[in-house]
Structure 1
Amino acid sequence: MQPYQLSATQLLEMMRQRELSPVELMQSYQQRINQVNDKVNAFAFEFPQQALAAARQAEQDYISGHARRLSGLAVAIKDETYIAGQITTNGSLCLKDAVAQSTDPAPAALMAEGAIVHGRTTTPECSTAAVTWSRIWGVSRNPWNLALTCGGSSGGSAIAVASGMASFANGTDIGGSLRIPAAFCGLYGYKPPHGRVAEIPPFNIDPYCHHGLLTRSLDDLQRIYPLMTGPNWIDSHSFVPRDKSPARSLSSLRVAVSSNLGFYQVDQDIRANLEQSALHLQQAGVAVEFVDLDWDDQVIETAKIHQRALMGMLLRRNLDKPENRPLFTPYLAWYLDRVAELSADDIFEANLHVCRMWEALAKVFKRFDALICPTLATTRIAADFDYSQHQVEINDQVVDANKGWFMTYPFNTLGQCPALSMPNGFCQTGVPSSLQIVGRPYQEQTLFTLAEALSHYHDWARWPPFN
């Protein structure tokens, strides 16, 4: 196997044993980028010379015994996340020359452990879409089916990992922006509970907003994620105590399963794969029960209102100026027009609805240790899909084009609940299927226990078909 085909966990062990050098690894990634990136469009910026120089230093660190916990690994960082001195466009022509003045806590933690930032990954304009295309970077494509979306807004990050162009990647998630591309690309995508990973203001005060990881394996996720967590003085919410609960046996766990969260239309292939995963858990000794969740499509409106109330207002203040309007993608212009229509009454009613959502979910969590459900309601979304202009149909019914086809944002609304997306088969479209494991507030260990059990049923040594 080529180095780019190995997991981050395997790579670290090989570099420690001096069976592989960080320089050889970085060269493998660069060759892979040259081979496939033109087909899928994962990277907005590449730093080949700086990355090789950092790899040479990592090589010396291994020789001298000073290697850090991620030394030599290549991390792809989303073109939304600040790294001081690097251009950060957030997928917008309006920000094509914007240089970050500071580094966000998540990449700072990863780089402090020796991870090498070898490129910045594509994102939709201002992260306002669940697909990844923009006027500045063009269309990013699903490596399993180039006609379909890779998801968004951390789409380029997901492509980079799924296609063997990075050891792992970061992502951000305010409505599913990490888990949606994880699902489309066959990865593990983890949205921690709010506060577990420090964020910059004002996003740190937003319980919908999270920073997480995209990895090819569960081992990689469990190895790297703890290195991002913990208190940071930039974020008062980051002083949340760690989950120190011991791992429990599978036979002691009770899991609720919902195929539609009460109101979604869901493709049959996704439902079938979820049912198969539930059966796998039962066979492993877990008590599994299908449940009805008392939610309706007001959940969609609540998420829209909240996203517009903070992120949207911030974009209106900083970016929505007459001279910028001709540069916007249609979906960003549509989004900002909706932000302008927002009222205080809308925000008040949405906040009250969050309380009702939790009441319904709390009834489930009082009886069960976790909830599993699909990540996506359909995989039939084109790479250049535009929710401001196009429709989505599932089971011959038109659904909300903005949010009616992915099932992630309820667990941003209830952001204290950890949510892990993982592959659980394939869909008729040829792209992976995915499920979400959602935990009780701040109780993360159970998610990883269940994910470990499910991970044994799917061989993800396979690679996208354009190989």
Structure 2
Amino acid sequence: MTADSRSDVKAPTDSDDLAYLTAVEALALFRAKTISPVELMTSLVDRAERLEPQINAFSEMYFEKAMEQARAAADAYAGDGTRARPLEGIAVALKDEVPIEGHLFTDGSLVHEGEYASETAALAQRIFDAGGIMHARTTTPEFCCVPFTHSRMWGVTPSPWDLTKSAGGSSGGSGAALAAGTTTLATGSDIGGSIRIPAAFCGVVGFKPSFGRIPDVTPWNLDHYCQNGPMARSAADAALLFDVMQGQHPDDIATLPRLEMPSTLPDVAGWRVALCATLGDYEVEDGILENLRATADLLRSLGVTVDEVDLPWTRAQIETILEVHFGYIAAASAATLSRGKPELLNDYTLDYIERTTARATKMTMAQAFDAEAEFFRPLSTIFTEYRALLCPTLATVSLEAGDSYLGYGPTINGKVTGQVDRDGLMTGPFNIVGRCPSTALPSGFDKSGMPTSVQIVGRPYHDIDSLALADAVDRARPLYRETRTRPSFV
């Protein structure tokens, strides 16, 4: 997929407006020589230096090197600009869990303090080879094991929309940086919602591709719940970064052949989409449901047929399948990474390991696979009639920043729930059916002023459908284009 070269993109005159340019807009302006990569990087760095003490989205910053790379990128646009690569001069903040040779590699844990990666992950190398500039790494919770971002190593990362609320997790730093205008693009990873949860809490776009689309490192490349993906402020940007990251890699046996992306995402008029408001028995915050239905109405105005459907899923069923799977893989990995040093771990890490490891003993892996197959059947039936499923990303609009939620969950419609994962998150079902792509997209704002989000879930391996529907909504109802729809904490 190539960046949009529209001639109608206007160069901002205000530095903050410049920082909120999408990648697609910035690349068009670079090619038109209206602005330079140096100007854009300067605006991002200036904002980051001013805002980082409050949002704490970056675990490491490489601003001087980034400015050097921006100057080199500017040279690539000289003349006819043919030397410019797909992401030439664009700032990309990479999630800290991605190994990059010679850089810190700690998993957000004091257990691994001061350790460095000995190799560079394929997805990072692809971003670098495409001209993307890594100006920062983004914060995560310890071992990326919870849906919020705070740790003993890095402190608390809040949502820029309300600094008392969490940015979500585990890709919380990526979501917060995008919302705050301190990066243009970012990466995330998603094993239970870790791209889509912070996208929702921060009011940005997060795309979880189908399993196998983007290469990963072992053992996560073989975990069909786990996918790396792009995070951005627009669906078109998410598609742009996805196209750079995706495709078969010789080091990853699970990767799929490259998906041929169209130069522009397809028109969705005439498509049929199913709407499921509760995914079974979730109680969902009223404001989220109102904005979900408004999104459905917007799709209808664009020529999409949207019909409401039911799914027979239950939170108990989803919780059991997820925790069995995590107990065998993610919690087992966290226990190994802990190296027998529980005194250095966060309270939520200890709880996660104990809770999910215990649950794993309730099923064999064979039984878990049977449960996953049975879980997919009703969704498969829906997909025989509809190209995608529209549903909420989360059941709650916020989590309190710094709270580990041990023994209780978020407040939904005025009631305190029992557990964050079971009651607050509606992302996990689409990790259980990990071959289904899902785009988390801003849907508006709750009465509290926090952003709300919808998921657009595609049929297995139909990544373009999910992105195209998200792009259609995003173009009709964009966030961040006006100052009034940006966080106002500065």
TM-score where L is the length of structure 1: 0.95
CA distances 1:311-370 after superposition (whole Å, capped 9, x unpaired): 22122223240xx21111100011122344232735443322111111111111112111
* Structure 2 residue aligned with 1:35: 50
Shift of 1:415: 0.5
Determine if contact 2:160/2:167 at 8 Å carries over to the other structure. Answer: yes
Q: Report the residue type matching 1:331 in the other structure.
A: Y
User: How far did residue 397 of structure 1 move?
Assistant: 5.8
2:5 equivalent in structure 1: none
| AA of the residue aligned to 1:191 | K
Residue identity opposite 2:460 in structure 1: P
Match of 2:468? Answer: 449
**SS of residue in 1 equivalent to 2:314:** coil
SS at match of 2:420: coil
C-alpha separation between the residues in 1 aligned to 2:43 and 2:472?
32
Aligned to 1:71: 88
Q: What residue ranges of structure 2 are gaps of 5+ in the alignment?
A: 1-13
1:383 to 401, 408, 412: 401
Structure 1 residue 102: Cα displacement: 0.9
Q: Does 1:116 align with 2:116?
A: no
Q: Could you say if the C-alpha distance between residues 320 and 336 of structure 1 is closer, same or farther in structure 2, counting changes exceeding 3 Å?
A: farther
In 2, are the aligned partners of 1:145 and 1:429 still within 8 Å (CA)?
no
The answer (yes or no) to whether the contact 1:422–1:451 under 8 Å persists in 2 is: yes
Q: Deviations over 1:411-464 (max 9, x none)?
A: 111000010010111012211111000010001222233223322442311311
For 2:196 and 2:420, how far apart are their aligned partners in 1? 18
Q: 3-state DSSP class of the match of 1:252?
A: coil
2:215 is paired with a residue whose SS is coil
Q: What is the DSSP-based 3-state SS (H/G/I as helix, E as strand, rest coil) of the residue aligned with 1:106?
A: helix
Report if the CA contact (8 A) 1:29-1:166 is conserved.
Answer: yes
CA distance 1:150–1:50, shift in 2 (3 Å): same
Q: Does 1:148 align with 2:171?
A: no
**Pick from 166, 189, 213: which aligns with 1:172?**
189
Residue of structure 1 equivalent to 2:300: 282
* Identity fraction in percent: 35
Unaligned 5+ segments in structure 1 are none
SS state at 1:237 partner? coil
* Contact 1:387-1:402 within 8 A present in 2 as well: no
**Matching residue within 14, 26, 33 for 1:18:** 33
What are the equivalent positions in structure 2 for 1:215-230 lying under 5 Å apart?
215-230=232-247
1:414 equivalenced with 2:433 (yes/no): yes
CA RMSD of aligned residues (A): 1.9
- Cα deviation, 1:169-193, whole Å, max 9, x if unaligned, reads 0000001000111111111110000
Q: In structure 2, how many angstroms separate the alpha carbons of the residues matched to 1:36 and 1:373?
A: 33
Aligned residue in 2 for 1:5: 20
DSSP 3-state at the match of 2:135: strand
Moved more, 312-321 or 185-194: 312-321
Give the match for residue 486 of structure 2. 463
For these two proteins, the number of residue pairs brought into alignment is: 465
Work out the CA distance in 2 between the residues paired with 1:119 and 1:380: 26
How far did 1:254 drift? 1.2
- Quote how far apart the aligned CAs of 1:237 are: 1.6
Equivalent position to 2:378, from 353, 360, 378:
360
The equivalent of 2:11 in structure 1 is: none
Distance 1:142 1:168 in 2: 17
C-alpha distance in structure 1 between counterparts of 2:477 and 2:400, whole Å: 26
> AA paired with 1:388?
L
- More deviation, 48-57/228-237: 48-57
Name the CA distance, whole Å, in 1 between partners of 2:412 and 2:20.
Answer: 35
> CA-to-partner distance for each residue in 1:70-99, whole Å, 9 max, x for gaps?
111111011111111100222111112110
1:235 counterpart (246, 249, 252):
252
Equivalent residue runs for 1:242-253 within 5 Å? 242=259, 250-253=268-271
Is 1:60 matched up with 2:75?
yes
C-alpha distance after superposition, 1:185-242 (max 9, x if no partner) = 1111100000111111111111100010111112212222211111101111213462
Please say if 1:336 is aligned against 2:353: yes
Kept after mapping to 2: 8 A contact 1:78/1:154: yes
> SS of the counterpart of 2:417?
strand
CA distance in 1, matches of 2:248, 2:48: 35
CA, structure 1 residues 157+241, in 2 after alignment: closer, same or farther (shift >3 Å)? closer
Residue 278 of structure 2 is matched in structure 1 by 260
| Conserved? CA contact 1:129–1:331, under 8 Å | yes
Q: Distance in 2 between matches of 1:389 and 1:316?
A: 21
Where 1:260 maps in the other structure, the secondary structure is coil
* Paired residue secondary structure (2:329): helix
Aligned partner letter, 2:56: N
Q: Distance in 2 between matches of 1:244 and 1:50?
A: 32
Question: Residue 73 of structure 1: SS of its match in structure 2?
Answer: coil
Q: Please point out which of 47, 56, 64 is paired with 2:62.
A: 47
Determine the structure 2 residue equivalent to 1:327. Answer: 344
Deviates more, 1:130-139 or 1:344-353: 344-353
